[in-house]
Structure 1
């Protein structure tokens, strides 16, 4: 039981500090959880004004720990957009005692770099700028002689702290981690130090990472569309004029001094909250947090520069050229968080835009009037918007798309939302709230929303009551009020976008010595701590296996709520049944006969939605999964509908014809979209004609397929043997009684995974006008014995263990060659699958050759640094010690182990192997993969990618999109 005794009082504070805190709009304290709060949240305050939210959950000996600041890109100086974001990057560089061998000796070099950036900001002439940049490079090298890159991440990994990350948005910056409960005090100590007194070392190479992130945004049409839409919605306010990633122009001259000032102005304890969810006791946690953060002094908060919240008047049109699909977005200004209309607008967004039961799905997607459409929006601290996006199929005008979107909007304004729609939407909001109980991150997200939005926790807890109080007239009123004539229309047309180029400085690589370690990190790692004993899932205690006539059942109990989740897993996919995916697409647009009643597709989805049920069918090359989730008491009714739906889907020839037309249109978009092309190129390079993209039916096969043929595919799926993975409140016996589906006809296992065979290094290049090249590397090997998996996991952690891995450190941190750089060993999902050493990169096109050469050298390194091996070993062992598999995930994990030949939880044995494997054995294991001829795929702009440089690394084959897809076969 939670100890609800209020913590010991903090020391009295002086009047000046009291006045500062009183003016800081701090959240109201809540020392004892509300009786109707399932999250059990309490709210506390440290002596310096730092707020602490705690949601206890003892399911695992870990704590989801976030620190949130009420400052984001909205608080950037208007002449230096993107500043809050690159400050977020720099906050991982360490302090005077972490990330350096000697903070005192390093300080003059850091100060010199700051002064040089001030001079760079005033320089205009190219020659003067080049000279200053050269001086910055030299000063960075002097700093690097003492620096320990990524020591923050490496230390956290060795402490068993995972998921270390951060994000910046308009009104907030958040630092996140998943912490072993036994190390919460140590985490707090490190965070307090780096948040108060960061040292912005190695700023110069980190800028390249920010440039790469900007390139990713430029290559992502959705990001550019969002930026254009926001600027038109908020033309005089930072929500529109200050994109979080920053403008290309401002990134050319980073404002180092402004960044330091931003930190001093906004990174204050009275502007921050610690958000904790998990195995945390306020009685012990709060004193530890007070000790760690007590030296962080509060200061008066300065209000951000005011923005003009005047919105669009009339119809404001913006056009966007991009590869891939064409679309129309209609965006309307709404209200800020806390406005009286907020609840009605939130519910309206769900009623209109829910993927299953929303009005857009019912009126536009299921009838196939549009191939895709969505409703999306945001409520921020000073304003909000609601947007509708519709995708055009080939031959469909954007004017027609806009007309269809406006039909739905007009219906909402005219009161088409019924009470049943509201009831179903509130039901699903309630189910989402129950789902929040299972997951520490979702708990923390709730606390984050309340804190950054300035909402009291009692009001947040009762937000569902505010939704239940709404009626159809309320939604019609807000639709009429906000979805009116003042609208931003963004037309996305197919065409070439020429991204702006950011002048890149020359960066001398920073030497990385994995043997370096600060005295502080050494001391922290030497502290005694009691790691919890590792746990193993046991049959009949943590899960139950049962045999059913349709196949095996693996069940785990949900002891928290009435929710269930059922995954029906079939070893059938498009490799052996090419039309199965097409049949699943038809199923989603079909109705069903329910007794004497005929339900068309929208009516069927409305029935399921009212039951609180969602059904999703996912087909890939070798597996099909049907996921059913919802309220357990409605499981039988939901499964009965699924059974009838699979056996006898109801559709017309027109429905099938529209499906084919929309599918073919989507395929044309796919052949033009950089993300889809990169994925297809990667799979084709790795697997050749066995690429999953080539298992799908051709355009000709789609046109020739008839309804009865597709219905036969669905019936065959229904009657095939499958694994049932159940998570819910029922005991396994009672669950099994309801879960028999189909005849259980035996299915042969899918063929094993086989990589392409090449005799020499081979590079497949595909041209695309992009700012960032996408590179994937495979060094294949024959299938590996089951016992090799722990060794592979350790080696993968050495090479690519997040930000502490060798690939990230050497490629991004040391040289600024890429934003994304990772590597791992993939031994396949089933016994008999080929294995591979895999690497991936996202880099500027003109750096593709150099980045690829370096990655290949790293993957074939002849000497693994013992310090890297030791650090990776410690990180994995501590992660194993406190890792707990949630009940919802247990059936899936148990089945994945069975696919690999494990009849029991293999993690304890894996940990022992990781504990004892010698570095020499690990090096020998790497050598087995390093001897393979690499297979490389490169998507990039041929005008900027040096193909001669690629040819020096392997035989280059230039491919075209048509080779990657089955469409024209």
Structure 2
């Protein structure tokens, strides 16, 4: 039971906070602001959020957070893939893509000339859709391609993204799911008016320019999904759960046949029907003035005309009267997903299922965590929820151990679900779950999640007071109620077994004939000129003074505290940071992993996890190449107890050979499964081979024999000796520095003699002296390509140029790489390039250029990338936009909390004596395009690249690859070393 004092502290911080003992009902009040706008707010809402609604039906959700001068923005539309007409699935998602193409004002050189050409393209697509004859379809598409060439002369590509860069936005993106399409930006607080002005123009109309190059990007996205076994798993689960409902009969990406026959007419109809103010919300959280913001929203959005929307009448979904089963085959590890179906997010099910999910799996003390994962009965198990407008699902998943069948794993999961029905769980777990959810709510609010909660409230039409009151209401749920609900609802489910075998049922959308569309990089629309001309007061950048930013105190000659006070809420994070890692001793990594399964001489591993969860404490450890971290976090009031628990654990950890043997078997299984994962093969092992050769961090590992010979008694010595090495202690929390030191001196282990820091291995970077191609075969629709050049050590004085180059060249949708590869030539869904800064002192900087594309476009895509790596396209307009983007971001950036400590430690490690952002900020003010072109020619441009490729060897033959360099076909054994 928490004290009244403790409760009052929590009320200051929690998003969904309420005492487990109080029965206060959070009520909704209606008020009027000083400008006459009506809003609602919830009593005792710690976020003090307001919800407005304009006369045209537009909803506005606002929450103030003054920690940094930025605003997280979401614009949700209550329409997603379940709203797609059944004959044109994928429409909502494709519309989301097209919303970035501009309007009759944004993205056009001459709308009067461009419009009739777009209309002609639309008519041709209708003709194409209504024609069955393949030859006639191809002829029509040739016409579409020709007219698109003409229309492209009047288009300014990515002008919306340039506008976002101009105002310093970051995280510009969007997503589509079953019930929603959501548009995302994070903007400087002084740019709220220009952002609203731009977005009101964007949402006012739909202009389908550059349509056929963008649809090729959607084809690529579809084909990427065909290479994922998970795509088939989710589709089959959906069909079993919702056999007659769009949730199960329609996918967000759409059917291949529909993608091949797009309709611009239907997309426009969909936009006109659902993209109306009474079906849209503006959700903002950050440094804003609520009343001034609402007035601005009304100014720019208030004139939009509302339109009635008739709700979709879905057929009644049949009850699940039996367990439904299906299976999927693929090369990756065997596992299963099973799902129970419930009511939607606004239903009473939402709260109960959320609670049961946390009882089952909370990463520490849930039934699955302790009974299965802790006891190593499976390789992995867990659960999660997914709630939508109409229905919700509770998912369970499991990855079996070697020799264990999927059916055996399923039985183990069902045994744990039966425990909920029988009440076979300790009473304290209910309270602990609610308290830990409150802590998660604090963390969510601190990371700007309030605006995202607004989105869910709007889409589900679940009142905001229910979000605020969520934990309070959950704390009233009794064990008997949980048991009764589980007995009634956790009976029949759908399950898909993902078995080992060849991937079946692949449907590939072939690339149509597309001629590159001209890119107008130097042009600006009148709208952009007007926005650029508006005077916006500048924010003043805040740079870190490393002499005062972080409190550094040597507690003794070998241990130092790095502290930063948390002025925002009542949470703390404390870490022991050791400058030793697996590069010093490969066994150290195994010891760190084993900590998950060990207890002490007085407390079992299960009892230890229960103890920390009861106290609202999180504990984790991780080991990288050069560092080992042990971290605890949670409520400030429980920090002393948390430190005592962790210190006792580190000094009294007990060996468990059975746990080690199980861990070794799991490691060996994961190693084998990694050889079936195309992303691990490409982005980890193949890339490390290219950077360092055969001897690298992914191949320098313990052999199977060495693993099996490990002794638990030897490994716990590593854990017990940790605090006898010199180390750093980092603290971010509400306590004063002196109090933290006092607690540490009392509870932390202080060695009499500290061990010397062990020598670390270092892997040499391979020089890029010739064109070389490393190829690994994988049976896939796409191909992965990455070009790498080792540029050697780049001096710190060049970092500002490097930063500006990255922003201009490969920094996002408005960058040179993205425009050329995707927008102009439709050669890839994903294309990027950047020049790295070193992670460790003395490391080289590396140039990366990456493309994910279909195998039939391999040569075109790679040649296009080579062109722009040889001669960088120059655009003064794009360059000035890139400069402004960097300036705006630095002016509104605030490095706070734990991030400030980590930045401080990084600068200390690298030997930087000041905030390098200041150098970037000063340089960018006066930098010229000629400066960056010279930097490109001196530092970036190269005659040689190491090219790594993963794809189908039947399509990417040695002869085909040999055009780009000396080819070396590598086996999985060579790049994994087992």
Relative to the length of structure 1, the TM-score reads 0.94
Q: Does 1:726 align with 2:731?
A: yes
After superposition, the Cα gap between the structure-2 partners of 1:711 and 1:921, relative to the gap in structure 1 and judged at 3 Å, is same
Aligned partners of 2:583 and 2:762 also within 8 Å: no
Aligned partners of 2:153 and 2:520 also within 8 Å: no
Q: Does 1:686 align with 2:686?
A: no
Alignment correspondent of 2:456: 449
Structure 1 residue 689: Cα displacement = 3.2
Structure 1 residue 412: Cα displacement = 1.4
Q: Does 1:713 align with 2:718?
A: yes
Alignment correspondent of 1:125: 133
Q: Does 1:493 align with 2:499?
A: yes
Alignment correspondent of 2:21: none
Q: Does 1:136 align with 2:144?
A: yes
Aligned counterpart in structure 2 of residue 65 of structure 1, from 64, 67, 73: 73
Matches within 5 A, 1:671-820: 671-679=675-683, 680-739=685-744, 740=748, 743=751, 745-747=755-757, 750=760, 754-820=764-830
Aligned partners of 1:618 and 1:626 also within 8 Å: yes
Alpha-carbon separation, structure 2, partners of 1:682 and 1:276: 40
Aligned counterpart in structure 2 of residue 524 of structure 1, from 531, 535, 554: 531
Alignment correspondent of 1:965: 976
Listed as ranges, the gaps of 5+ residues in structure 2 are 1-11, 13-30
Per-residue Cα deviation, 1:115-141 (whole angstroms, up to 9, x for no partner): 111111111111011011111111211
Alpha-carbon separation, structure 2, partners of 1:74 and 1:465: 33
Alignment correspondent of 1:236: 244
Alignment correspondent of 1:18: none
Aligned counterpart in structure 1 of residue 865 of structure 2, from 855, 870, 890: 855
Alpha-carbon separation, structure 1, partners of 2:917 and 2:387: 43
Equivalenced residue count is 940
* Residue range with higher mean Cα deviation, 795-804 or 896-905: 896-905
Aligned counterpart in structure 2 of residue 9 of structure 1, from 36, 59, 64: 36
Alpha-carbon separation, structure 2, partners of 1:254 and 1:863: 33
Q: Does 1:208 align with 2:209?
A: no
After superposition, the Cα gap between the structure-2 partners of 1:863 and 1:256, relative to the gap in structure 1 and judged at 3 Å, is closer
After superposition, the Cα gap between the structure-2 partners of 1:692 and 1:741, relative to the gap in structure 1 and judged at 3 Å, is farther
* Residue range with higher mean Cα deviation, 508-517 or 919-928: 919-928
Aligned counterpart in structure 2 of residue 324 of structure 1, from 325, 329, 332: 332
Aligned counterpart in structure 1 of residue 618 of structure 2, from 605, 614, 617: 614
Alpha-carbon separation, structure 2, partners of 1:286 and 1:585: 51
Matches within 5 A, 1:129-278: 129-278=137-286
After superposition, the Cα gap between the structure-2 partners of 1:250 and 1:319, relative to the gap in structure 1 and judged at 3 Å, is same
The alignment partner of 2:586 has SS state of coil
Aligned partners of 1:417 and 1:476 also within 8 Å: no
Aligned partners of 1:324 and 1:668 also within 8 Å: no
Alignment correspondent of 2:854: 844
Structure 1 residue 497: Cα displacement = 0.8
Alignment correspondent of 1:639: 643
Aligned partners of 1:7 and 1:286 also within 8 Å: no
Aligned partners of 1:575 and 1:695 also within 8 Å: no
Q: Does 1:548 align with 2:558?
A: no
The alignment partner of 1:113 has SS state of helix
Alignment correspondent of 2:106: 98
Per-residue Cα deviation, 1:758-800 (whole angstroms, up to 9, x for no partner): 4211111111111222222211111122222111111111111
After superposition, the Cα gap between the structure-2 partners of 1:307 and 1:579, relative to the gap in structure 1 and judged at 3 Å, is farther
Alignment correspondent of 1:404: 412
After superposition, the Cα gap between the structure-2 partners of 1:308 and 1:255, relative to the gap in structure 1 and judged at 3 Å, is farther
Matches within 5 A, 1:535-574: 535-539=542-546, 542-549=549-556, 550-574=558-582
The alignment partner of 1:803 has SS state of coil
Per-residue Cα deviation, 1:160-207 (whole angstroms, up to 9, x for no partner): 111111111111111011111111111111111111212110110111
Alpha-carbon separation, structure 1, partners of 2:363 and 2:426: 18
Alpha-carbon separation, structure 1, partners of 2:901 and 2:231: 37
Structure 1 residue 850: Cα displacement = 2.2
Alpha-carbon separation, structure 1, partners of 2:278 and 2:665: 57
Alpha-carbon separation, structure 2, partners of 1:259 and 1:368: 51
Per-residue Cα deviation, 1:55-94 (whole angstroms, up to 9, x for no partner): 0112222111111111111111112221111110110000
Structure 1 residue 5: Cα displacement = 6.6
Aligned partners of 1:353 and 1:361 also within 8 Å: yes
Relative to the length of structure 2, the TM-score reads 0.93
Alpha-carbon separation, structure 2, partners of 1:583 and 1:677: 25
Alignment correspondent of 1:280: 288
The alignment partner of 2:895 has SS state of coil
The alignment partner of 1:952 has SS state of helix
* Residue range with higher mean Cα deviation, 565-574 or 423-432: 565-574
Aligned partners of 2:584 and 2:758 also within 8 Å: no
Matches within 5 A, 1:28-43: 30-31=39-40, 33-43=41-51
Aligned partners of 2:162 and 2:878 also within 8 Å: no
The alignment partner of 1:627 has SS state of strand
Alignment correspondent of 2:831: 821
Matches within 5 A, 1:584-603: 584-593=592-601, 598-603=602-607
The alignment partner of 1:840 has SS state of strand
Alpha-carbon separation, structure 2, partners of 1:827 and 1:906: 12
Structure 1 residue 572: Cα displacement = 2.1
Alignment correspondent of 1:901: 911
Per-residue Cα deviation, 1:565-612 (whole angstroms, up to 9, x for no partner): 22333332222211122111211111124xxxx322222111111111
* Residue range with higher mean Cα deviation, 284-293 or 696-705: 696-705
The alignment partner of 2:813 has SS state of helix
Listed as ranges, the gaps of 5+ residues in structure 1 are 11-28
Alpha-carbon separation, structure 2, partners of 1:223 and 1:633: 45
Structure 1 residue 902: Cα displacement = 1.8
Alpha-carbon separation, structure 2, partners of 1:960 and 1:705: 28
Aligned counterpart in structure 2 of residue 470 of structure 1, from 469, 472, 477: 477
Q: Does 1:659 align with 2:663?
A: yes
Structure 1 residue 887: Cα displacement = 2.2
After superposition, the Cα gap between the structure-2 partners of 1:783 and 1:754, relative to the gap in structure 1 and judged at 3 Å, is farther
After superposition, the Cα gap between the structure-2 partners of 1:216 and 1:616, relative to the gap in structure 1 and judged at 3 Å, is farther
Aligned partners of 2:81 and 2:250 also within 8 Å: yes
After superposition, the Cα gap between the structure-2 partners of 1:922 and 1:716, relative to the gap in structure 1 and judged at 3 Å, is farther
Alignment correspondent of 2:845: 835
The alignment partner of 2:369 has SS state of helix
The alignment partner of 1:394 has SS state of coil
Alignment correspondent of 1:430: 438
Alpha-carbon separation, structure 1, partners of 2:704 and 2:292: 64
Aligned partners of 2:697 and 2:763 also within 8 Å: no
Aligned partners of 1:621 and 1:695 also within 8 Å: no
After superposition, the Cα gap between the structure-2 partners of 1:754 and 1:527, relative to the gap in structure 1 and judged at 3 Å, is farther
Alpha-carbon separation, structure 1, partners of 2:508 and 2:964: 27
* Residue range with higher mean Cα deviation, 49-58 or 625-634: 625-634
The alignment partner of 1:343 has SS state of helix
Matches within 5 A, 1:411-422: 411-422=419-430
Alpha-carbon separation, structure 2, partners of 1:742 and 1:853: 60
Alpha-carbon separation, structure 2, partners of 1:253 and 1:343: 42
Structure 1 residue 919: Cα displacement = 3.0
Aligned counterpart in structure 2 of residue 506 of structure 1, from 513, 527, 532: 513
Aligned partners of 2:332 and 2:677 also within 8 Å: yes
Structure 1 residue 494: Cα displacement = 0.8
Alpha-carbon separation, structure 1, partners of 2:270 and 2:633: 46
Alpha-carbon separation, structure 2, partners of 1:939 and 1:592: 46
Aligned partners of 1:752 and 1:832 also within 8 Å: no
Alpha-carbon separation, structure 2, partners of 1:171 and 1:644: 49
Aligned partners of 1:47 and 1:290 also within 8 Å: no
Alpha-carbon separation, structure 1, partners of 2:206 and 2:727: 54
After superposition, the Cα gap between the structure-2 partners of 1:472 and 1:149, relative to the gap in structure 1 and judged at 3 Å, is same
